[in-house]
Chains A and B, each alone.
Chain A
Amino acid sequence: MNDASLSRRKSKYTPRTVPVSEDGSKLTTSAMIASLDAEGRETVAAPFGHALVDLAKTRDDIVGLTADLSKYTDLHVFAKAYPDRFYQMGMAEQVMISAAAGLAREGFTPFATTYAVFASRRAYDFICMAIAEENLPVKIVCALPGLTTGYGPSHQATDDIAIMRAMPNLTVLDPCDATEIDQVTRAIADHPGPVYMRLLRGNVPDVLGEYGYKFKLGKAQMIRDGRDVLFVSSGFMTMRVLDAAKRLQADGVDCAVLHVPTIKPLDLETIAAEAAKGGRLVVTAENHSITGGLGEAVAAALMRAGVHVPFRQIALPDAFLDAGALPTLHDQYGISVDAVTASVKAWL
């Protein structure tokens, strides 16, 4: 055991007092079903589940599978609407994925759901060989991406994009909000190959509607333009950087936001073109480890394109993260709006 892990382990066992937030409320561990950034925003309930139900009205080929997590991936909405097209596969991710491959072989379009940790870590070989190698149209839709639960490393998929990006044929998506989840669900049903989609569930905030955004598979899109900073972000971090951009605006820092929901295949052309405009600090922002995610993908793309610009990464550390309340953890690991704003100010 090295010194760092020893000290971390020791500190875990030090007796503690109850933490209290600034308004005096207790800071409890976020439930796994907690909605993110919903406070003070428009939200939409279970956008994935409802989009799938809507699709299934005209698509007889769509079936749903889950490994004991339908309620926690919003697939229960589909299960209720189409019980005979829903497969509860039990707590058995390997056979869920394999069976989805088999159903795809027989002409169906399976949507298979679990948590991101279980799909990416436990079922990897099955996704790889039964689905991706054959380019089968299985859609793997996974809740709790990155740091969206306070339960600790067993449930925090801080490495899922790094894992999934390495898989040939697989399209990897990290949508931002309810509007986008609805659109992504419809788009991937039409996509002929396999897809890994990160899912926000429950009451999901709706933020991109006000920008007139419409998802296009494989495309990065400018949500707002700006002269000083170019955020390149995915998933809910696009919400965060949009909020940070508003705060920074008040301080006279003009921020652009390029939203990149398709992590693979990456829209190299748009990213390189925006970065090459020059005069802006490029800041990638992702709800994922600093290793192997959007930030490194963008950095490599810019290097390959010969675009040499000031570059910073907002991402989770390459570490097993702590348990606790999400707002605390997001501050601690630098992905809250406060932390993003402070980081950018420090870098300018």
Chain B
Amino acid sequence: MGRDTSNVSLARRAYAIRRNALLMGEVQGQGYIGQALGAADVLAVSYFHALNYRADDPKWEGRDRFLLSIGHYAIALYAAMIEAGILPDAEIETYGMDDSRMPMSGMAAYTPGMEITGGSLGHGLGIAVGMALGLKRKNNPAFVYNMMSDGELGEGSTWEAVMSGVQWKLDNLIAIVDFNDQQADGKTTDALAQVPEAGRWEGFGWFAQEIDGNDMDALVAAFDAARAHPDPVPRVIICQTKMCKGVPFLEDREITHFVRVEPDEWARALTILDEDRPDE
């Protein structure tokens, strides 16, 4: 069992993920820090409550597959995988550097534990469909999680995969939608009609839950329900998250897809985060 059995609280894990992400952002002086801070709670519950994995064996056949369709969220996933011990702390300093195992956009060939090459949006869910089919062929009980963004709901290929998941009764497929309502040019909901989101997935036949993605208890309950749901249908957890969550002065900044952080603000953000460090 790789599932976390330590007594470290999920809140503390989320704090550590945010801290790792800020440290990496500071290394490059940039990064998708808004997304990383917003999704830290989702990743904490994924890696320290839901997922089955072995930190020292990222290719372990029994692992739950966690696909990062949104390649630009790599900073967030690295932060989580560092906290999980899949990647070493020492490599934080290499983030985005030449020859780093942690490039700015997530790619399978670079990083242990990175299942797919994301970044061209609308790819992850389709690959997840194929992996879920493959696991069933092998009678492997693992789950496939596909972490995606609200912006990817604009890609037609996402909806091909949504229909396919239902067609093949993929009860081992769990989509996680990070719904922060931001994409490159502005609000996602201003670009393509996106509401009511859960109803749309339910209409296609998915077991859909829509929750506050920064509420730890709600996340735990939703992941548990997604795994335990008895019907032979794929599952989606739509996580309403707040960009930059955990660093109030960034939360209050005019929120954009790519949050600008001044050089001196990284240390300030870390200080603020540390002031509210949860207990283990």
Contacts and interface: CB of A to CB of B under 8 A. Distances in A.
A121 B122 CA distance: 17
A104 B126 CA distance: 13
A130 B134 contact: no
B127 A130 contact: yes
A129 B131 contact: no
A294 B134 CA distance: 36
Given A94-B156, A98-B123, A129-B117, A89 B164 contact: yes
- Most B CB atoms within 10 A — which of A87, A104, A106? A106
B204 to A, nearest CB: 13
A258 interface: no
A257 interface: no
Contact of B133 (A90, A103, A126, A129): A103
Interface in B15-31: none
B190 to A, nearest CB: 25
A102 B127 CA distance: 5
Nearest to B115: A105
Nearest to A60: B137
Contact of A99 (B107, B115, B120, B126): B126
B135 interface: yes
B126 A126 contact: yes
Interface in B91-113: 107-109
Interface size class of A (residues with CB under 8 A): 20 to 34
Contact of B157 (A94, A100, A106, A110): A94
Contacts of B156: 94
B76 interface: no
B160 interface: yes
A107 interface: yes
B109 A98 contact: no
A101 interface: yes
A102 B126 contact: yes
A99 B117 contact: no
B126 A129 contact: no
A129 B108 CA distance: 11
A55 interface: no
Contact of B164 (A92, A104, A126): A92
A300 interface: no
Contact of A130 (B116, B133, B135): B116
B156 to A, nearest CB: 7
A98 B161 contact: yes
B138 A130 contact: no
B134 A106 contact: yes
A327 B146 CA distance: 50
A102 B157 contact: no
Given A126-B126, A129-B120, A98 B157 contact: yes
Contact of A103 (B109, B123, B131, B160): B131
B106 to A, nearest CB: 12
Residue of B128, B135, B161 contacting most chain A CB atoms (<10 Å): B161
Interface string A93-121: 01101111111111110100000000000
B198 to A, nearest CB: 22
A129 B124 CA distance: 11
A98 B161 CA distance: 9
A106 B67 CA distance: 13
B117 A102 contact: no
Contacts of A103: 130-131, 133-134, 137
Nearest to A87: B133
B9 interface: no
Interface in B251-279: none
A134 interface: yes
A133 B164 CA distance: 24
Interface string A246-273: 0000000000000000000000000000
B167 interface: yes
A68 interface: no
A63 B130 CA distance: 11
Given A103-B133, A103-B134, A106-B138, A125 B120 contact: yes
Contacts of B160: 90, 92, 94-95
B132 interface: yes
Contacts of A63: 137
Nearest to B140: A106
Contact of A95 (B107, B109, B134, B161): B161
Contacts of A134: 108-109, 116-117
A107 B130 contact: no
B209 to A, nearest CB: 23
B11 interface: no
A126 B161 CA distance: 13
B138 to A, nearest CB: 7
B129 interface: yes
B164 A102 contact: no
B55 interface: no
Contacts of A87: 133, 168
A102 B123 contact: no
Nearest to A129: B120
Given A90-B163, A95-B163, A102-B132, 19 more contacts: A87-B133, A90-B164, A94-B160, A97-B126, A98-B125, A98-B126, A99-B129, A102-B130, A102-B131, A103-B133, A106-B130, A106-B135, A107-B134, A107-B138, A125-B120, A129-B120, A130-B123, A133-B117, A134-B117
7 contacts: A98-B161, A99-B127, A102-B132, A102-B133, A104-B130, A106-B134, A134-B108
